Structure 1
Amino acid sequence: MTTLRELRDRFSPVFETIAAGALERERTRALPRAEVRALAEAGFGRLRLPVRAGGLGATIPQLSALLVDLAAADSNLPQIWRGHIAFVEDLLVTPHAAFRDRWLDRIAGGAVLGNAWSEIGTVERGTQGTRLTVDGERAEVTGRKFYTTGSLYADHSDTLVQAADGTQHIAVVPLDQPGVEISDDWDGFGQRLTGTGTIVYRRAALDARDVIPFEDRFGYQTAVYQLVLLAVHAGIAAAVEADAVEAVAARTRTYSHGNADRVREDPQILQVVGEISAVSHTAAALVQQVAEAVQAAHEAATIGGEQARAAEVTAELASARAQVVVSRLVPEAATRLFDALGASAVRESAARDRHWRNARTVASHNPWVYKAREIGAHAVNGTAPGFQWAIGTVPAPAPTAADAPTGEDAAVLSAAQPA
């Protein structure tokens, strides 16, 4: 069995190179295309594949530890791989054997997957405006997606689509074709380099064998998606801690109303650094705790039935609890960084604001306030958490006879109508 130490030895040189260029990419908004490919060439995309399938056989806790390391180097990179990670996890437990075998081979060969599930605008909640048509061995996808994290760097996109009969499917769309247009139009103030922008499909072609029913997706997928974001948060916290330690240790200018002639000996500043360190290590510990729960859900998925569902509930609640905590603590730690430093820390050349912007952006995914409510509902009433999250508009209900005005109100309305 591959150990975490062996995996870190394999990927640490790539992570170090990524970290060396992170600040400059942030300043210039340079997309990390080369960095994504370097990770793919090192085998990052096949971490979870069994060794017999050409992978590295990593467990979910091992993968999660590497994601934290990568996020500390550049928090954009783990989120770029989020859709790929979930796609691979589905392959490991999918009932569609032919689909699984074909895509395991492609992933082992270096294919990188992006994500294209969400739509913006007036799309009705629970539906998809992106349409699928299948004609024999050929399928086509037409529509517009946003929040397409990672697809800008990918070979294929894991796309949620809807057929004419209203059923929803996963369509794995090749991106290098005339029917696909990808825009780098993500304008968030954080995680700017994740490629979380628009894809337009215009009769984009794919093999009909690369379409499977959405209802067959793995049951612990929301916990996996959230686990990646938790790892991003933990990596940001680690980067904040590293910045705080380095800057405080090097600082020579002190305030007349401080507590010591050297900043590194000022007890108030050391307290701030200690608080940041506590958040960093707490976030990393929570990631591993959730990863263990997700690993248990993966193992139970091969058994199925009530055991699998119970493990999914446990993983979902674990990820939600951690989300509630880190969504507040990590942005706060990124702010506390500035309490340990002087005015020079806010200069754009240092780009230390990126930590807060990135953490705040990650915390805005699947708002934690709703997750907190679900945790409480389960604790008090035994209510199972939700496993599929959707966003969109809800049509106003059609008026009924009971809504019609009567009596004096009806007369007033009638008089107000134009002739």
Structure 2
Amino acid sequence: MNIAVNAGSLAGTPQPVQQPVPGPVRPSEPAHIIRDDAEAIRVAEHLAAAFRAGAAERDRTGARPAAELDAFSQSGLWSINVPRSHGGPGVSYATLATVIAIISAADPSIGQIAQNHLGIVAAIDTVSEAEQKALLFGEVLRGTRFGNAFSERGTKRAGDFETRFTEDGDHVVVRGQKFYATGALLAHLVPIVATDGEGRAWYAIAERDAPGLSVIDDWSSFGQRGTASGTVLIADVRVPKTHLVPAWKGYERPSANGAIFQIIQAAVDAGIARAALDDTIDFVRTKSRPWIDSGQDRASDDPYTIQAVGDLTIRLHAAEALLERAGQAIDAAVAAPDATSVAAAQLATAEAKVLTTEAALAATNRLFELAGTRSTLAEHNLDRHWRNARTHTLHDPVRWKYAIVGNHALNGVAPPFHAWS
């Protein structure tokens, strides 16, 4: 079922529900398992066609995409980076990025909700022992969705965590508070970033409805409304040690974990750009009027509009090409992780993130300039593209990506090695 949010009085902004929301029921049937990269693309395109139909209305009303997420995770796309050695498809990260871009062009909230799940799957593959991999990958292959309780607000830096755990026999007990918890509302399991007595970060993967774990639907951003990226309260939540994943190990030696989280962010932005450009072209063709000085009968024959659409198309294609290149670099780093291959993956992903950010912001802004005043009417809800782009591109600021790429080119300095790079 969809968890609806009451419509607000200001510009249709949904007003968040402030009480804890129960978690979803686990799927009764095992999820499909994708066979190969080509099937992953086909399934993504099929789902995107269905997701696109209700995306504008979900944004307008604040409805959460519960049914859509069930279809998404049961389709097999939530297990596409489970390694083949553990029964998964193990598709290329270039393919994974394409899948997320396709889904995000239909509804970027749904694309973003999958991000942390797929990142956790990659982290488990990097840091977990064989027994834990078998246990957790088995859950994913059955259709279990991981959420996210990573970030905290109020700390000095994004990488500072006040959430802690203590040991209690074969469990740990976690206490803290999280925000920006994308995916937690509609997850089956919630990975919580918590630190031990030595300050090392772990993923404590809790049941969504574990006693003491409360997910509050208080996400009030003007964009990415469907992600429900609100608050998670963690009051002495017990997590079995079988579900305690040593996240810190992913950053004690070279790994592609940070680049994997980043490329999925870039893919969401590529999808937003694609949706905005497609809607611009459709609106200009079917609804816009030519400018009085153009001498044209159709807006689509306006030479300045033609030039602008050509510019946006080239920029988007360049961004998509860099996204594919970054996926290939990540594949190489996953296959043979060392300082060189991981740095190459980080740099390629940083470049992709710059261009996907710029393409998303340019396409969503110029939509209105090219389509005209009529495109701003509430009945079209085209402003959702700009709101989604402006909100999502704030993840991991691109001004630092320029610095990473430039410092490497000029001074041979490798990118910083952490979860945001």
Alignment partner for residue 359 of structure 1, among 381, 389, 396? 389
> For 1:72-120, what per-residue CA distance to the aligned partner results, in whole angstroms no more than 9, with x for missing partners?
1111112101111111112223352221111011111111001211111
Q: TM-score, normalised by structure 1?
A: 0.87
Alignment partner for residue 354 of structure 2, among 324, 332, 349? 324
- Match status 1:383 vs 2:417: no
- CA–CA distance in structure 1, aligned partners of residues 419 and 80 of structure 2: 27
What's the counterpart of residue 268 of structure 2?
A: 232
Gaps of 5+ in 2: 1-33
% identical equivalent positions: 32
> For 1:215-239, what per-residue CA distance to the aligned partner results, in whole angstroms no more than 9, with x for missing partners?
2126222211110111111111111
What's the counterpart of residue 210 of structure 2?
A: 177
Alignment partner for residue 42 of structure 1, among 66, 69, 75? 75
When residues 4 and 125 of structure 1 are mapped into structure 2, their CA distance, relative to the original with a 3 A threshold, is closer
Instruction: Describe the SS at the equivalent of 1:154.
Output: coil
- Match status 1:297 vs 2:330: no
What's the counterpart of residue 141 of structure 1?
A: 174
> For 1:20-69, what per-residue CA distance to the aligned partner results, in whole angstroms no more than 9, with x for missing partners?
11011011111111111111111121112245634233221111111111
Instruction: Describe the SS at the equivalent of 2:380.
Output: coil
- Match status 1:333 vs 2:363: yes
> For 1:347-371, what per-residue CA distance to the aligned partner results, in whole angstroms no more than 9, with x for missing partners?
1221111112211222211111122
- Match status 1:253 vs 2:289: yes
- CA–CA distance in structure 2, aligned partners of residues 238 and 7 of structure 1: 19
When residues 166 and 251 of structure 1 are mapped into structure 2, their CA distance, relative to the original with a 3 A threshold, is closer
Q: TM-score, normalised by structure 2?
A: 0.86
Paired residues for 1:15-414 under 5 Å: 15-51=48-84, 53-122=86-155, 126-217=159-250, 219-251=255-287, 253-301=289-337, 308-388=338-418
CA contact (8 A) 2:151 2:158 kept: no
- CA–CA distance in structure 1, aligned partners of residues 158 and 279 of structure 2: 42
- CA–CA distance in structure 2, aligned partners of residues 252 and 317 of structure 1: 41
Q: Residue type of the partner of 1:278?
A: I
- CA–CA distance in structure 2, aligned partners of residues 57 and 220 of structure 1: 15
Larger mean CA deviation between 11-20 and 246-255 belongs to 246-255
CA contact (8 A) 1:68 1:284 kept: no
State how many pairs are aligned. 384
CA contact (8 A) 1:158 1:170 kept: yes
- CA–CA distance in structure 1, aligned partners of residues 419 and 86 of structure 2: 32
> For 1:300-345, what per-residue CA distance to the aligned partner results, in whole angstroms no more than 9, with x for missing partners?
13xxxxxx22111111111112222332232012111112112110
CA contact (8 A) 2:267 2:356 kept: no
Q: Residue type of the partner of 1:329?
A: A
Q: Residue type of the partner of 1:366?
A: D
CA contact (8 A) 1:94 1:100 kept: no
- Match status 1:6 vs 2:47: no
> For 1:366-407, what per-residue CA distance to the aligned partner results, in whole angstroms no more than 9, with x for missing partners?
1111222122222222222112258xxxxxxxxxxxxxxxxx
Q: Residue type of the partner of 2:149?
A: A
Larger mean CA deviation between 60-69 and 119-128 belongs to 119-128
> For 1:114-167, what per-residue CA distance to the aligned partner results, in whole angstroms no more than 9, with x for missing partners?
121111114567542111011111221111011111111111122211123433
- CA–CA distance in structure 2, aligned partners of residues 376 and 273 of structure 1: 30
CA contact (8 A) 2:257 2:419 kept: no
Larger mean CA deviation between 18-27 and 174-183 belongs to 174-183
Higher Rg: 1
CA contact (8 A) 1:138 1:205 kept: yes
What's the counterpart of residue 407 of structure 1?
A: none
Q: Residue type of the partner of 1:263?
A: A
Instruction: Describe the SS at the equivalent of 1:351.
Output: coil
CA contact (8 A) 1:251 1:264 kept: no
CA contact (8 A) 1:233 1:283 kept: no
Larger mean CA deviation between 175-184 and 161-170 belongs to 161-170
Gaps of 5+ in 1: 302-307, 391-419
Q: Residue type of the partner of 2:293?
A: H
- CA–CA distance in structure 2, aligned partners of residues 178 and 220 of structure 1: 34
- CA–CA distance in structure 1, aligned partners of residues 308 and 101 of structure 2: 22
CA contact (8 A) 1:25 1:32 kept: yes
When residues 122 and 66 of structure 1 are mapped into structure 2, their CA distance, relative to the original with a 3 A threshold, is closer
When residues 186 and 342 of structure 1 are mapped into structure 2, their CA distance, relative to the original with a 3 A threshold, is same
CA contact (8 A) 1:237 1:283 kept: no
